[in-house]
Structure 1
Amino acid sequence: MNRLRNPRTGVDQGDTEVFSDFEDGGEMWTGSGPRERRRAVSFTEAFARPPAVHVSPSLWDMDTSTEIRAELVAENITCEGFEIVFRTWADSRAARLRAGWLAIGELPHADDWDVD
């Protein structure tokens, strides 16, 4: 099978602490109901177009005395960066979260034209 490959494809990755609420009694640990945390991430180098971004938990510190309800997504993806978004609800309690991320996309090239 032949596959086309873009030689200008770039990869950026990282590991980002999204929150740590256990020590200071933050709302992810002490609250209930819908809660959300966002963490802005900047790419090392801007992509030519918004890249595909994958996020996954690399540290997941949750209270197991209740159901674990959580969502972890990448939102507001631009050429320069994105936001890691963690959501929980009901009586779930999250002490800490760190997220690993991977961005794959096209890099700008010196021969690219910017036509208005």
Structure 2
Amino acid sequence: MKAFRTHPIGVDQGEAVLFSDFADGGDMWTGEGPRERCSAITFSQPFRSAPVVQIGVSLWDVDTSSALRAEVTTENITKEGFVAVFRTWSDTRIARIRVNWTALGEVAHEDDWDIS
């Protein structure tokens, strides 16, 4: 559990296309075996500390001739942003992926003092 102090709480949201490999024959569409794509996401303004981030797939365009194998996760969450990660493996063919995300955490307030 992440506990917040008495600071204001901010929510930031967004969407990002992680890749679109169908048009140019990229490896998510044409390859086999383990494959990964990462995309850096920047928050609209920094949080006071690393927020909680929820990520999900908002669009997937996939080939249905094989099993759908996929993992969508976040890595390296900081006050300023995070990395969205998509992984697949075996003979799964992914044409494109778009994710949506929500970040929730403490934000600065105009009355905050910086005593450093």
- TM-score, length basis structure 1: 0.91
Which residue does the alignment assign to 1:54?
A: 54
Written as runs of structure 1 = structure 2, the 5 A alignment for 1:36-47 is: 36-47=36-47
For residues 37 and 115 of structure 2, the distance between their equivalents in structure 1, rounded to whole angstroms, comes to 36
Q: Distance in 1 between matches of 2:62 and 2:113?
A: 47
Q: Distance in 1 between matches of 2:115 and 2:99?
A: 35
Instruction: Describe the superposition over 1:59-112 as per-residue Cα deviations: whole angstroms up to 9, x where unpaired.
Output: 111111001000000111000000110000000010000000000000023424
CA RMSD of aligned residues (A): 1.5
Aligned positions of 1:73-92 closer than 5 A: 73-92=73-92
Question: 1:113 maps to which residue?
Answer: 114
Show the counterpart of 1:71.
71
Residue correspondences, number: 112
Structure 1 regions of 5+ residues with no counterpart?
none
Within 2, Cα distance between the matches of 1:34 and 1:50? 29
Identity of aligned residues (%): 54
**What amino acid maps onto 1:49 in structure 2?**
S
